[in-house]
Amino acid sequence: MDTIEHSSVWQASFGQYPMLKTAISTDVLIIGGGISGILTARLLTDSGVSCVIAEAGKICGGITRNTTAKITVHHGLIYSKITEKYGSDYAKMYLAANQKAAEMYRQLAQNIDCDYETRDSFIYAKNNPKPLYDELSALSEVGCPAELCENVPLPFLTAGAVLVKNQAQFNPLKFLSALTKGLDIYENTHIIELDKNTAISVDGKITAKKIVFASHFPFVNSRGSYFLKMYQSRSHVLALENAQPVNGIFMDEDANGLSFRDYKNMLLIGGGAHKTGCPSRTEELFKFAERYYPSAKPVNLWSAQDCITLDGLPYVGNYSANTPDSYVITGFNKWGMTNAMASAEIIRDKILGKENENAPVFNPSRTIFHKQLFVNGINAVKNLATPTAPRCPHMGCALKKNKEENTWECPCHGSRFSENGELLENPANTNLNRR
């Protein structure tokens, strides 16, 4: 394992962007320079709206760099779950939004060298096929062509898979590098405070008519209650050389299972999901690789962190019901590629005053009365009551030590810090005070 590179396989050249050291104004400020922020800025700029991206670190230096980059409308068993909770009309909205997003990627990728490839998508079950039949029924009801695949081309036995054809995969950094050209971007510009419509960084200020929070986990607690509505899940990706290619996109219907896709001469295996602040599970990926790909060579290992919502659907729209000029994009539940593009379209339309027919399913102000709300609340109370130090500066939860990655992690909301207290992942907005 000593020769493994601990970074993702995605590489691309981005421009050099300054740190904000003055006071500026713009129509729209977008906080966050990952895929959601860039796509939103691109769509707004192309619509004639002036906007600025403020990125705390480097463009695409966070969650976006660590994706597995599957462009698919096939998000686990999402359609049967939406149909059960909200009805088929909402499931149709979710499908339509993601289908349109996938088509936008396809069209844009025709003019961008980003390793875009069409692939079939499989959601497989290891043992019980019943959830697959439920999902097939829901997909049929919303009008998405799908079929049951009994012989799944993976190196282990399954109970079958739901197959949706003609989905895609790509290199997200190459794609986004092309889209940043001409955008007004500031790097190393950490927004630490908001004063009405002015965002304040260490050395500058940005006054905007509209503000979009695309910073992964929203950091303003006084509105929206995102600290109750989400937690973060950490998962890992192992890249293997000399492994048999899978020639498709494969995902376990179980959120704790494994995913597979190829990239160039590598097989990317994703999995080992666990709540942030709980023990890491990367060893599971190595054991799987040793068993099923004994001749393969592990070359890269990296981790991603995803916001998990109460009902498995993103929060995209007004930050809260009482903030008409503030917007949020968050909660992709591990399905960030098409949802990021769909979110950018929804936010663009809202800012332009246009109706987006698929926006209701993403509404951040929808009901919060789900079982997960009480689980999140109990977990927060438990960790707030834990009398150990250090404490997370976000809301005061006791941090847990991740010995494998040598970090401190918040089990309540997912903030992460380096050994010396440097902020690595929000919603915390300051470094760790190690007094």
Consecutive sets of 10 residues in the chain, 435 residues long: mean pLDDT of each?
Answer: 85 92 98 98 98 96 95 96 97 98 98 98 96 97 96 95 98 97 96 94 96 96 93 96 97 94 97 89 94 97 96 97 96 96 98 97 94 89 85 91 90 92 92 71
> 329 forms bridges with which residues in the sheet?
316
For residue 430, report the phi and psi dihedrals to the nearest 5 degrees. Answer: -140, 165
- Residue carrying the six token digits 């799944």: 152
At 265, is the secondary structure helix, strand, or coil?
coil
Crossing angle of the two packed helices 336-352 and 88-109, in degrees rounded to 10: 100
Q: Please give the pLDDT value at position 44.
A: 98
Nearest to 424 by CA among 18, 22, 29, 66: 66
Instruction: State the number of CA atoms in the 13 A half-sphere of 128 facing the CB.
Output: 6
- C-alpha torsion angle, residues 5, 9, 12, 16 (rounded to 10): -40
Let me know if 4 is exposed, middle or buried by CB neighbors in 10 A (0-12, 13-18, 19+): middle
What are the residue ranges of helices labelled H in 6-77?
35-46
Dihedral sign for Cα 179, 180, 181, 183, please: positive
Domains and CATH numbers, the chain: 371-425 (2.102.10.10)
Which pTM does this prediction carry?
0.96
Quickly count helices (H) and strands (E) in the chain.
9, 21
At 24, is the secondary structure helix, strand, or coil?
strand
In this structure, the chain runs to a length of 435
Q: Please give the pLDDT value at position 18.
A: 97
Let me know if 215 is exposed, middle or buried by CB neighbors in 10 A (0-12, 13-18, 19+): buried
Residue type, 225: S
Q: Please give the pLDDT value at position 385.
A: 86
Task: List CB contacts of 110: < 8 A, sequence separation 6 or more.
Answer: none
User: Which runs of E-coded beta strand occur in 244-296?
Assistant: 249-252, 259-263, 266-275
Q: Please give the pLDDT value at position 435.
A: 46
Dihedral sign for Cα 79, 80, 85, 89, please: positive
- Residue carrying the six token digits 């079939």: 120
Token representation of residue 184:
């007004």
d(CA 69, CA 162): 20
**249 neighbors 228 (Cβ within 8 angstroms):** no
d(CA 309, CA 339): 14
Q: Please give the pLDDT value at position 434.
A: 54
